[in-house]
Homo-oligomer: A and B are copies of this chain.
Amino acid sequence: MPSVGLGIAGLGTVAQGVLQIIGRNHRIILERTGIDLRVARVASRSAKPDVDLLGAQFGADLDMLYRDPAVDIVLELIGGEDTARDLIRSALMAGKPVVTANKAVIANSGNQLLGSNAEVPLRFEAAVAGAIPIVQAVQQGLVANQFEHIVGIINGTCNYILTAMAQQGTAFDDALRTAQELGYAEADPTFDVGGIDAAHKLTILLALAFDAQFNLPGVYVEGISHVTPADIRYAGELGYCIKHVGIARRSADGVEARVHPALLPAEQLLANVNDVANAVLVKADAAGHTLFSGPGAGGEATASAVLADVLAIAAGSGARQAQPRRALEYLPIEEIVTAYYLRIPTRDEPGVFARVANALSTHGISIEAAIQKEPRAQQDVVDIVILTGDSREREVDAALAEVRALPQVAGEIARIRVESLE
């Protein structure tokens, strides 16, 4: 019945979640696993908040975490990048296994960190989609499969905002302000609504699914600030929901890695994952479509994943550690082939639709569905909404350049990719 000493870096919500779970569930974990979790040391440079440290030593010196012989596993829960990465590296070099919830560090420095001391475990279940055991699902549950695609709603802030826009018809700015008031978005929301956070998580999923190196710079990234309530409404009329997704896909041309808003078929489970929830849809050659959903953030929810890693290490789990090997270049975004939603604001003149359709047709782009409403009184601009057939993005760009040059086009053209999820 081994006693396992934990050294926790940080005392934010996830670290506090770890302490709360151990405080509450220590005995049940011991009964289940035979592992006696002890918090040996907590290190934080901020003042100690009023939380029960379960008898742990407390100090500001992070290095003590891996120097203290009472610490068997280091939990990196400080967030940020440089300090966290240095701590992880030092701990691994000192032979201490590390568990981290830090997606930025793994996405940016995972190749070096996982290579630095391959004998010593470094695990990061909590870095992707919080409580959802998706790293474990990809690495173990689906280990016998070839992955065809992974489509994830992996940023709770974006999902909250798009859900609010869809359900209440509010504009992006208003929904963002509400999200900030509720604590679902940061004061500076760029990281989330700009798609960077989702790109970190997608980078990790990609590396695991395709047995490749982490390659954050190769991921195409687009945020949600350009999505309008009108787009969400038109998408609904066409039978789709708009979600912000990270997509990894193996196509005939290569591996796609992209983060952007997308129209998803409304009847699909993934399209019905709302508010701050996260979900990951995996298509694999043997298992078919599996979906994993749950809370993507939150102290105890994230801590649940951290402790799953801790207990796997403590059990001496032989489950393979992510060992990024081959470098993998992703397909340039211009080369992807998918369907597109287009919204083209035009002045209501005869023949406009024909000219738009002609420009698309010239580039081999078919029209699968379209909406053009009668203009209302006093309204001289009408939206032409088109759902294209599968088309190469380069051709869509070229066609839209022609459309944009039409004298009847009266505003910014919206272009959102469509995912069939099949």
Chain A residues within CB distance 8 Å of chain B: 17, 20-21, 24-25, 28-29, 31-34, 125, 131-133, 136-137, 140-146, 211, 269, 272-273, 279, 284-295, 298, 300-301, 303-305, 307-308, 311-312, 315-320, 325
Given contacts A143-B307, A305-B141, A312-B140, is CB(A290)–CB(B25) below 8 Å? Answer: no
Write out the residue numbers on chain B whose beta carbons fall within 8 Å of the beta carbon of A319: 312, 315, 317, 319
Given contacts A141-B133, A143-B307, is CB(A32)–CB(B287) below 8 Å? Answer: no
Contact A290 B144 (CB under 8 A): no
**Within the complex, what minimum Cβ distance (angstroms) separates A89 from chain B?**
25
| Sampled A-B contacts (15; CB under 8 Å) | A21-B145, A21-B286, A24-B146, A24-B285, A25-B286, A32-B143, A133-B136, A140-B311, A272-B272, A279-B291, A288-B298, A291-B291, A291-B292, A315-B320, A317-B318
Not counting A21-B144, A21-B286, A286-B303, a sample of 13 additional A-B residue pairs whose C-beta atoms are within 8 angstroms of each other reads: A25-B286, A28-B211, A29-B143, A31-B325, A125-B141, A133-B142, A137-B141, A285-B300, A288-B300, A290-B295, A312-B318, A315-B318, A317-B317
Contact B288 A295 (CB under 8 A): yes
Write out the residue numbers on chain B whose beta carbons fall within 8 Å of the beta carbon of A286: 17, 20-21, 25, 131, 300-301, 303-304, 307
Q: How far is the CA of A372 from the CA of B342 in the complex (A)?
A: 46
Write out the residue numbers on chain B whose beta carbons fall within 8 Å of the beta carbon of A272: 269, 272
Write out the residue numbers on chain B whose beta carbons fall within 8 Å of the beta carbon of A307: 143-144, 286
**Within the complex, what minimum Cβ distance (angstroms) separates A142 from chain B?**
6
**Within the complex, what minimum Cβ distance (angstroms) separates A97 from chain B?**
13
Write out the residue numbers on chain B whose beta carbons fall within 8 Å of the beta carbon of A273: 269
Chain B residue with minimal CB distance to A28? B146
Q: How far is the CA of A292 from the CA of B142 in the complex (A)?
A: 13
A308 in complex: contacting residue of B140, B300, B318, CB < 8 Å: B140
The quantity of this chain's copies bound in the complex is 2
Contact A146 B25 (CB under 8 A): yes
Q: Which 3 A-B pairs have the closest CB atoms?
A: A133-B141, A290-B294, A144-B307
Given contacts A136-B141, A319-B315, is CB(A211)–CB(B285) below 8 Å? Answer: no
Contact A290 B288 (CB under 8 A): no
Contact B285 A25 (CB under 8 A): yes
Residue from A17, A140, A298 with most neighbouring chain B CB atoms (10 Å):
A140
Chain B residue with minimal CB distance to A37? B144
Contact A211 B291 (CB under 8 A): no
Write out the residue numbers on chain B whose beta carbons fall within 8 Å of the beta carbon of A33: 143, 320
Write out the residue numbers on chain B whose beta carbons fall within 8 Å of the beta carbon of A25: 144-146, 285-286
Write out the residue numbers on chain B whose beta carbons fall within 8 Å of the beta carbon of A308: 140-144
Q: How far is the CA of A301 from the CA of B32 in the complex (A)?
A: 29
Contact A131 B294 (CB under 8 A): no
Q: How far is the CA of A319 from the CA of B140 in the complex (A)?
A: 11
Given contacts A33-B320, A141-B305, A273-B269, is CB(A132)–CB(B312) below 8 Å? Answer: no
Contact B318 A316 (CB under 8 A): yes
**Within the complex, what minimum Cβ distance (angstroms) separates A143 from chain B?**
5
Residue from A140, A141, A308, A325 with most neighbouring chain B CB atoms (10 Å):
A141
Write out the residue numbers on chain B whose beta carbons fall within 8 Å of the beta carbon of A318: 312, 315-318
Write out the residue numbers on chain B whose beta carbons fall within 8 Å of the beta carbon of A291: 279, 291-294
Q: How far is the CA of A325 from the CA of B33 in the complex (A)?
A: 12
Q: How far is the CA of A293 from the CA of B273 in the complex (A)?
A: 13
Given contacts A28-B146, A29-B143, A317-B319, is CB(A295)–CB(B289) below 8 Å? Answer: yes
Chain B residue with minimal CB distance to A314? B318
Chain B residue with minimal CB distance to A326? B31
Write out the residue numbers on chain B whose beta carbons fall within 8 Å of the beta carbon of A301: 286-288
Chain B residue with minimal CB distance to A145? B304
Write out the residue numbers on chain B whose beta carbons fall within 8 Å of the beta carbon of A315: 318-320
Write out the residue numbers on chain B whose beta carbons fall within 8 Å of the beta carbon of A304: 142, 144-145, 284, 286-287
Write out the residue numbers on chain B whose beta carbons fall within 8 Å of the beta carbon of A143: 29, 32-33, 307-308, 311
Q: How far is the CA of A196 from the CA of B136 in the complex (A)?
A: 30
